[in-house]
A and B are shown apart, each in its own frame.
Chain A
Amino acid sequence: ADAPWVVKPEEKMKFDTIFESLGPVGGMLSGDKVKPVLLNSNLPVDILGRVWELSDIDRDGMLDRDEFSVAMFLVYRALEGESVPMSLPPPLVPPSKR
């Protein structure tokens, strides 16, 4: 449970910068703000749907900055040819949500 988050600090900084650039409201990004960013990856929509399922950990239809980092991490991994897991591996769960 105390394993280090797989999102490295330098990656987190990059993802946080993207997060802020999208105009979060109350520290959250709605699905309609995140969707075009993920679509921009040109990954299949069913893959992106799974990325969303895994990253919206509290299933409120919004991503906070940690959830957004999970989404971006999975998208970058998928672009490198790695498969998106069916469920979120514990090391990918943000420490704030364990």
Chain B
Amino acid sequence: IVGGTPGNSPWTVSLRDRKGNHFCGGSLVNSKWVISTKQCFSSCYVDLTGYTALMGTLYRNPKQGEPGMQSIPLTKIVCGPSESHLVMLQLETPAQFNERVSQICLPPERYIVPEGTMCEIAGWGETKGTGDEFVLNVAQMSVMSNKDCNEYFRGRVRENEMCTSSFQGGVGACERDYGGPLACQNSDCWVLEGVIIPMRRCGHPGQPNIFIRVSIYVDWIKKVMEM
């Protein structure tokens, strides 16, 4: 996260490869499922042996036995509808919810989150020197309409994507944040409105951030969890 500060995001998980390295983010949408982006995985049939989701800690390299930390193997990957760039990852055992680990809400189907809504992104990825990569960083941003966003991206932003406003100081997600959440406030809770996907540049001054619009795929998410 470029331009963020250390923060708390109990639904954000760190996806770990076989060597235990953090390589992407994800969001807990219930105790057994994490949503992330397909861009982080080599295929819809990748062998997930040795891959895990780490949660309940603010540190990228937590000490063994850190209280509240949970590391759960991933057992299944389900690819979302084409163009969604989303994947659902099943946990081998349910995550234990507590003050450090919780699930994020899903928006209503095909809902358009209003412009100006306060949101935040979270991740342990590249900070480009603007923060400490060894703790979870969070950055606040507000929703920008696709219409306005398309002015900057000259019409390339699609309906299944959404944008947040740009900052002259440059704020945004970066390497190893991909798959993490864009969580937006809704009265007293947080809703997963977007999923971080790779962009041409990250934290580029004046550039809005683009995310996959989760509400388009809530029906698919629920179907996977039910099936």
A, B: real partners: no
Partner-A contacts on B (CB < 8 A): none
